[in-house]
Each structure stands twice: as structure tokens, then as C-alpha cells.
Chain A
């Protein structure tokens, strides 16, 4: 599904990614681990076309995304959901409105939005918090709203960049359980994290990045750094 072929990314002459080659298949759950600054976020940004690659190729379903026109990037992003450590919810909108916003900007009708948003909130276990504003719910719940928002386009791939970084253990587990559930429903998930205890619980494929290079790949792996 996603193929990295000797991908290089530089910032001011410094190599953030140095010859990454990697294959990710449909329906996989991948933990991308490494210290801060190892290149995890850069790798995710390249997948959604937020940054341009400086060498090599990234193929998503055999489409070379380094050649996707700027105007077509939005359509690529509708196939990929993304969640972040800082959650990025709109503070003046309720959980429902935050999810609805993502559907609105992509041109979905009001009927469709009214029908599907409750279903997505149900999926992330927050149907009862639909009318709550972000500051009225816990950090874990906020992150689940953000995941709901990223699911609103039914993406084939979900990228999670340190989604539990700001959360306590209980909340982090809630979010992780949700990501695993989404993966079971068929969405490919890439989780970038340096939370070793989480990774050890997942027991799925682990890719370790150090200084822009893949240093270890394990099926059903553990966090070893």
C-alpha cells in the first residue's frame, strides 16, 4: 500500500531522513518509534504531502506522491486521517461541530453530516459528549474527538503523531484502544510514539528510527532503545 524507496529529506543541509526504505501493507498497525527528532514526524508529514521529499520515492497504491500536484493534495488528504499530540480541536465548537467541520469543508451535505457525525462519535464512544466543548471534556476524550474528525472521510490510512504525548496513562490507554479498534475495522494505522509501555502492549510491527535511518524492524516487536 505505502512504499518508501530510499527516501531522503533534508532541512538546511541536515538529513532528517536518510535513505528510508519501507513497505506498509493494507490493514497493518505499525508503531514508529524513536527519540524526539529521530525523524518520525517528518516521515508522517511526507505521507500527507505537507513536506516535499529531496530524494527517493513514496508510492501510495502505486501513485508517486512526490508528483502529486499541489491542487490535488487536498484529495490525497481526504484518504488519510491524521491526529496530533496537540489535538488541534476548535475550542469554540462542540465535539459534534468539530467533526462536522471536517465534513463541511469537504463539501458534504447537511443531511449527510447530521446522519454520519453521531455514528462516528458513537464509534469513538463519545455520543453522549456530542454537545460538549473541548474544555469540558478530558484530554483523552478530546483526542478521541480528533480521531473521530479524522475518520469523517473514512480514510484508508490513519496517521497518529504522538497522540498520547500529553495524556496520562489511563487516557493514553483509551486512545490506544480506540486506534486498535479502528485498525481492526480495516484502517491501516501508523502510530509514531516514544511511549515504550504503549508499544509493548500493542505487540504488532515496530519500526525503530534513529537519526533518520531505520535501525530495527520487528514483527510483534517491543520498544528497544
Chain B
């Protein structure tokens, strides 16, 4: 490859290329920035939508309220009946006593409720089963089986929060983001490759005499290609920096608002849900990949190396 003297000469030469053609460099950096902004917007939308779907999916379950005073053995039988259904993922039993305790702890800070609870002689809360199914579409089936099946006489109420419509809508949004967004990213990546290819071709054209003499006097291929590689790395670096600058207000202002709306308790930047640093690294890697591909295409065609 290159020794250290040549390495520094190559870097210097690449920087000179970058600075001597400010408009070309600006155009290449801008089109790369646009590609990165589109990519990161997409990435953020995808992460947010995906997270929202998971959050809402977790809130869906069937609650089965039994009539007061039903024997534990009877409930255990119903529980194992539900569990034997292959559509069911998980069944949790909350006894009447447990429900009462939970209620008390939940409202421990509310003196009005506490005092009224103290006046009760008997537990007004029923025993319940909480059921989660594997698939969203299984909820109505399982609910219907309990409402109208063999145990309907001992069951007081079957409740399930039907968020399926919202979830399906979100799923459609997600699909749209993926197809439309990926299409955009591909289109802009191609534009970026073409623009950088042309920029480097023009730089090669500007320096064709130097390049010809370099080849003639025995410069290695890496020495000839090096300045153009440096130039491509500079495009990637600057476009990543500009994109990061544009994204900062989104990270600090827009995302917290959305999170407040979806789930205020959520630590979006922790918990491995979203790491801005990771996104920036991905952006830089994408920019590098695009510009280096363009550089290799241009140098292979015009430098015959």
C-alpha cells in the first residue's frame, strides 16, 4: 500500500482537490446529505412506529371476571381449559383476595377510597383470568369461546380491549414506511452515486496531466487513487456532520414530545430502543459505502487502474 510519506502526500492532495473545487464539493456533499436525511428520517419513523405497535400490542388482553364466590377448583379447571387452547400464549390468575390487595395498594394514597374500603365487610372484587393470545386475530375467538361456551354460567363478564384496529393501522403505516422509504433511499443513493461519480470524474479531468505523469514515472495505483479516496471520505464526513446537525433538534425536541404521547414512562434513548450514536455511525457507514463505490467506478473507468 503506502508508506507514511506517501500517505500524507495523498491526504494533502485529496484535501486540495476538495478545497479547489468548492462548488463541486458542495454539490456532492449536499446530495449525500439529502440521502442521509431521508435515510435517518426513515430510520426514526420505523423505530417509533415499530415501538408503538409493540407497546399497544402488550396492552391487549382478555380479562375474564368470574361470579363472586366461585370455588378456586372451578376456576383452576377453567384456567387449564383455556391453557389447553393452542391459540393462547399466557394465562394469569388473579384471585379475588389478590385483586382486593392490588386495588388497596394502587389507591393507598387516596384517603377517600381507603376509608370507603374500610367500611366494606366483604370483598366486592371478583377473581379474574388475564389471557394473552399469540395472534391478534385470536382474541375475539378466545373471548367468544368463554362468553358462549360451557362455562358461561360461572362467568360474569368477558372483557377485551379491542386495539386491533389501531394496531392494524399502525402495521399498515409501518409497511408503507418500509416500502416507500426504502424506495426513496434507493433512488437517492443512486443519485448520490451518480453525482459523486461525476464530481470525481471532473476532478480526474482537472488533474489528467498530473495523473498521466504519475503513471508514467511509476506512482503506484494506490498513490494515484488515494487523493480521490480522501476526497470521497471528506464528502462522507461532511455530509454525516451536516445531517447530525440537522437531526439534533429532532433528537432533543421532537422525539421527546412523541414519546410523551406514546408512553411517558419510556426512556427512549436508553433500554436499547434507540441509540443516536448508532444512527450516526450507520449514516457515516452508508455515506462511506456510497462515495467509495462511486470513487472506484470513476477511477476504474478513467484512470484504467
Contacts and interface: CB of A to CB of B under 8 A. Distances in A.
Interface of A: 48, 70-71, 74-78, 82, 88, 90-91, 101-102, 104-109, 149-150, 152-153
Given A88-B209, A88-B212, A107-B3, A150 B217 contact: yes
B221 interface: yes
Nearest to A106: B218
A71 B220 contact: yes
B223 interface: yes
A74 B220 contact: yes
15 contacts: A70-B221, A71-B221, A74-B220, A77-B215, A78-B218, A90-B210, A91-B209, A105-B6, A105-B219, A106-B217, A106-B219, A107-B2, A107-B5, A150-B217, A153-B218
A90 B213 contact: yes
Contact of B216 (A88, A91, A109): A88
Given A88-B209, A90-B209, A105 B214 contact: yes
Given A71-B221, A77-B217, A78-B217, A104 B209 contact: no
B213 A107 contact: no
A119 to B, nearest CB: 17
B9 interface: yes
Contact of B213 (A48, A70, A74, A102): A102
B9 A104 contact: yes
A219 to B, nearest CB: 31
Contacts of B219: 74, 105-106
Interface string B195-218: 000000000000001101111111
Contacts, number: 56
Nearest to A110: B5
Chain B interface residue number, banded: 10 to 19
Nearest to B224: A105
A109 B221 CA distance: 19
Given A70-B221, A74-B220, 18 more contacts: A48-B216, A70-B305, A76-B218, A78-B217, A78-B218, A90-B210, A90-B213, A101-B210, A102-B213, A105-B6, A105-B9, A105-B219, A106-B219, A107-B5, A107-B6, A150-B217, A152-B217, A153-B218
Contacts of B2: 107
A70 B217 CA distance: 15
A105 B212 contact: no
A71 B218 CA distance: 11
Nearest to B9: A104
Given A88-B212, A105-B223, A149 B217 contact: yes
Nearest to A77: B218
A71 B220 CA distance: 7
B5 A109 contact: yes
A37 B164 CA distance: 82
A82 B217 CA distance: 8
Nearest to A93: B210
Contacts of B5: 107-109
Interface string B127-152: 00000000000000000000000000
A196 to B, nearest CB: 28
A178 to B, nearest CB: 18
Contacts of A105: 6, 9, 214, 217-219, 223
Interface string B66-107: 000000000000000000000000000000000000000000
B15 to A, nearest CB: 16
B3 to A, nearest CB: 5
Nearest to B217: A102
Nearest to B220: A74
A150 B217 CA distance: 7
Contacts of A101: 210, 213, 217
Contacts of B216: 48, 77, 82, 88
A106 B10 CA distance: 11
Nearest to B6: A107
A107 B1 CA distance: 11
A74 B218 contact: yes
Q: Report which residue of A71, A75, A82, A105 has the largest number of chain B beta carbons within 10 angstroms of its beta carbon.
A: A105
Nearest to A80: B218
Nearest to A82: B216
Nearest to B222: A71
B52 to A, nearest CB: 54
A99 to B, nearest CB: 10
Contacts of A152: 217
* Leading 4 A-B pairs by shortest Cβ distance: A77-B218, A78-B218, A105-B219, A102-B217
A104 B223 CA distance: 10
Nearest to B209: A90
Nearest to B216: A82
Contacts of A108: 5
A76 B216 CA distance: 10
